[in-house]
Amino acid sequence: MKYTHYYIIGCLWALLMLLPSPSGVAHAQKRKVMNRPYIDQRMFHYGFLAGMHLQDIELEQNGMIDEANGSQWFAETPNYEPGFSVGILGEFFMTKHLALRIIPTMHFGTKNVHFRNEKNGDKLYQTIKSTYITIPVDVKFSAERFNNYRPYFMAGVTPALDLTVKKQKQYLLRNADVYLEAGFGCDFYLPFFKFIPEVKFMYGLTNVINKNRSDITDETQLIFTQSVNKAKSKMIVFTFYFE
């Protein structure tokens, strides 16, 4: 439910991009001078990206009760801190409407986890900082170009490596993950470059909770890991590409 409003906004944006403007309806046959008309037909073209993202972690909890003191901890991520993303884009021509993209990217961000003890109402907090290196491999499905814009959808797979895993915390996350991703955007052809806003949704496929907590010296802290069966990472990424 936490992502509902983002999905609604995303769907509305997609519809707006795919629908013609009122002036376009009135002058359906009117064409403008096309900027950079052959850029998409090159076998390979490249650019760079900058943007922001939101991270989440989906926890499957088992309600375990600590036999020593009767505590029962539950965790959630009630809010998000925006992160920053930068990277480079390489795009390979496949057909008129299909392209293969490889996008090495770094994501700098955090996940805030709140813990609540159902027995006495105690609360604890953990901030999980992350620096992800990802290498998305996507297929881009583009519509027909009209004048100087061209909407598209994309889907792909993204291996990811977290460089800032920290121990001695309530949760210890694995540093490797794989995401499925899907999104949409629009190519805007400007006189000197191509500008591409995009929104994509990423869902982690692996269980990122590390159950091997040999790093913990206080055994009472094990209850946090033992109370969770698995955890899946999620991200929403808002990106601006420049080619």
* Per-residue pLDDT in tens (0 to 9) along the chain, 243 residues: 454 454 445 544 544 444 444 444 444 557 788 888 888 888 998 999 999 999 999 999 998 998 888 899 999 998 888 999 999 999 999 999 999 999 999 999 999 999 999 989 999 999 999 999 999 999 999 999 999 999 999 999 999 999 988 887 899 999 999 999 999 999 999 999 999 999 999 999 999 999 998 888 888 889 999 999 999 999 999 999 999
**What pLDDT is attached to residue 8?**
47
Token pair 């909770």 is found at 209
**What pLDDT is attached to residue 169?**
87
Distance in angstroms (rounded) separating the CA atoms of residues 181 and 183: 7
Residue 206: other Cβ atoms inside 10 A: 15
Q: Say which DSSP state 56 is in.
A: E
Beta bridge partners of 91: 45, 101
Distances (CA, A) of 109 to 55, 80, 118, 237: 7, 10, 29, 11
Distances (CA, A) of 125 to 44, 69, 172: 47, 20, 14
Contact, 158 vs 145, CB < 8 A? no
H or E segment to which residue 63 belongs: none
Side chain identity at residue 192, one-letter code: F
**What pLDDT is attached to residue 9?**
52
Contact, 23 vs 216, CB < 8 A? no
